[in-house]
Homo-oligomer: A and B are copies of this chain.
Amino acid sequence: MFGNFARRSLGRAGPPLRRAAGVQVGAHPGAYPGAFRGKSREAGGRVRAAVSQPLLSEALQQVARAVPSHSAIPILYGIHLRLHRDGITLVASNSVMTIRTELCRSDTGASTAPIPDEGPSLVVPARYFIDIVRKLTSGPVLLELEDRKTLTVRSGDGLFRLFGLDPFLFPETPRMDRAKWQLTLSNELLKSMIRQVAFAASSSEARPLLSGVLCRYDGRHLRLVATDSVRFASRTSPVDQPFGADAYEAVIPGKSLSELGKMLDEQGETTIVADDAHIRFQTASMSLYCSLIHGAYPPIDKLVPSSSIADVTVDTKSVLQAIERVTLLSGEGSVVRLRTNPQQAIELISGTTEIGDVREEVRTESMLGQPVAVSFNGKYMIDILRAVSSASVTFRFSDKLGPIVAVPVEQGPSSLYLLTPIRTAL
């Protein structure tokens, strides 16, 4: 099934075909005659679809990730619902990221009533629609659109009417007719690459490019890079394509990519399609569209110091837990001081004059070079060490002002983290 996605022509791929069963669209009641009381479509312009509650609830949970928690555009608090010949389409958007899922019409028991290709649509209040469907019993749910104003939801002995908005103002899903790049890779790899890199993107919009993740493909390797100018994360992985793929480079909004990472199952594949303005991640159950961030990403190749004065290898879990504890007492600035000591250990020191202070020691697996004493942001280092999936990590220290380099030992040079030290009076 996934092979089909990869072999599809570029451009606007059709909706994914998971959830092929369980949806019925039509003017006739189909399997739930008792639930129908209204006029038929022919008589009054109503269109109905029946879908099982768990499928609808799962699909709504997915699109919910694109509903903004705060927005100046009220219609974005809604979910765009369309009942059409092929099933039900649900779309949510925060104007940067759009998530679309399709609940496809069942091959069996489908109504023969003439439903238009496009079908009617309505923007319904997301929070209420999601909460209602989640709390319904797990039987069939009947959706009915009437006069482009009201969504009726029937389930068991319950009947809900939600007043919606005209979809006229809702952001259109990008058409992506002129796709120029396509790549298919396993969810497992994509999820781990996002987890290892996206946290380092800036959460501020002051420099929009730094809020993004650089995605670079050279025909053989995919590399993701993020930096907020204090910390830097990079992961490279070989990704071969059966039909080849061109080189490509773009900057993807970091928050949207993090949401994608959380949504991805470990199983299955994702097909990535990009044009000049947008990128689409398509899995078996949904499509996530993202606006690209335009501009020249800062040069990254010169960031890594060419030499080091000391290399220290430690157990990742031990040093992570020690820094987590030390950072508890580091106060607002999260300043942690690291010092090598001659007994094959590093000391981690922090504290504030009000609460208290702390010293932890972590034994090293190997230690080469000169003695080192350097301060850094403990929370940033915790983020880096949590992203490392290697059992050991090597810190390379250049000099007091150069960045600390962290290399996960098992992954070799394919993963790389940098953290700029903090100058202190110590």
Are B321 and A135 within 8 A (Cβ)?
A: yes
**CB proximity of A221 to chain B, nearest CB, Å:** 38
- A370 on the interface (CB 8 Å rule)? no
Identify which of B128, B329, B361, B362 contacts A356 (C-beta below 8 A).
B128
Are B158 and A359 within 8 A (Cβ)?
A: yes
Interface residues of A, count at CB 8 A: 33
Find chain B residues with CB under 8 A from A354 CB.
163
Are B157 and A361 within 8 A (Cβ)?
A: yes
Are B321 and A137 within 8 A (Cβ)?
A: yes
Known: A325-B136, A360-B157, A362-B157. A162 touches B128 (CB 8 A): no
Q: List 8 A-B contacts (CB under 8 A).
A: A135-B321, A157-B363, A158-B325, A158-B358, A159-B359, A160-B357, A162-B356, A163-B355
Main secondary structure of the interface of A (DSSP, over half): strand
Known: A128-B329, A158-B361, A160-B329. A135 touches B324 (CB 8 A): yes
Are A325 and B360 within 8 A (Cβ)?
A: no
**CB proximity of A129 to chain B, nearest CB, Å:** 9
Are B325 and A132 within 8 A (Cβ)?
A: yes
Are A356 and B161 within 8 A (Cβ)?
A: yes
Are A161 and B357 within 8 A (Cβ)?
A: yes
Q: How far is A128 from B329 in the complex, measured between Cα atoms in Å?
A: 7
Find chain B residues with CB under 8 A from A132 CB.
325, 328-329, 358
In the complex, per-residue mask of A342-369: 1 if CB is within 8 Å of any chain B CB, else 0: 0001000001001111111111000000
In the complex, per-residue mask of A147-177: 1 if CB is within 8 Å of any chain B CB, else 0: 0001000000111111100000000000000
Find chain B residues with CB under 8 A from A128 CB.
328-329, 355-356
Q: How far is A161 from B360 in the complex, measured between Cα atoms in Å?
A: 12
Find chain B residues with CB under 8 A from A208 CB.
none
Known: A361-B157, A362-B157. A135 touches B325 (CB 8 A): yes
- 6 closest A-B pairs by beta carbon, nearest first, are A157-B361, A162-B356, A158-B360, A160-B358, A161-B356, A135-B325
Q: How far is A160 from B358 in the complex, measured between Cα atoms in Å?
A: 4
Q: What residues of chain A have their CB less than 8 Å away from a CB belonging to chain B?
A: 125, 128, 131-132, 135-137, 150, 157-163, 321-322, 324-325, 328-329, 345, 351, 354-363
Find chain B residues with CB under 8 A from A161 CB.
351, 356-358
Find chain B residues with CB under 8 A from A355 CB.
125, 128, 162-163
Q: How far is A158 from B363 in the complex, measured between Cα atoms in Å?
A: 12
Among residues of B, the one whose C-beta sits closest to the C-beta of A348 is B158
Q: How far is A329 from B161 in the complex, measured between Cα atoms in Å?
A: 10
Find chain B residues with CB under 8 A from A150 CB.
356
Q: How far is A137 from B362 in the complex, measured between Cα atoms in Å?
A: 13
Known: A157-B361, A356-B162. A328 touches B125 (CB 8 A): no
Find chain B residues with CB under 8 A from A363 CB.
157
Q: How far is A159 from B128 in the complex, measured between Cα atoms in Å?
A: 51
**CB proximity of A334 to chain B, nearest CB, Å:** 14
Find chain B residues with CB under 8 A from A358 CB.
132, 158-161
Q: How far is A25 from B328 in the complex, measured between Cα atoms in Å?
A: 27
Among residues of B, the one whose C-beta sits closest to the C-beta of A163 is B356
Q: How far is A25 from B209 in the complex, measured between Cα atoms in Å?
A: 58
Find chain B residues with CB under 8 A from A135 CB.
321, 324-325, 328
**CB proximity of A133 to chain B, nearest CB, Å:** 10
**CB proximity of A212 to chain B, nearest CB, Å:** 33
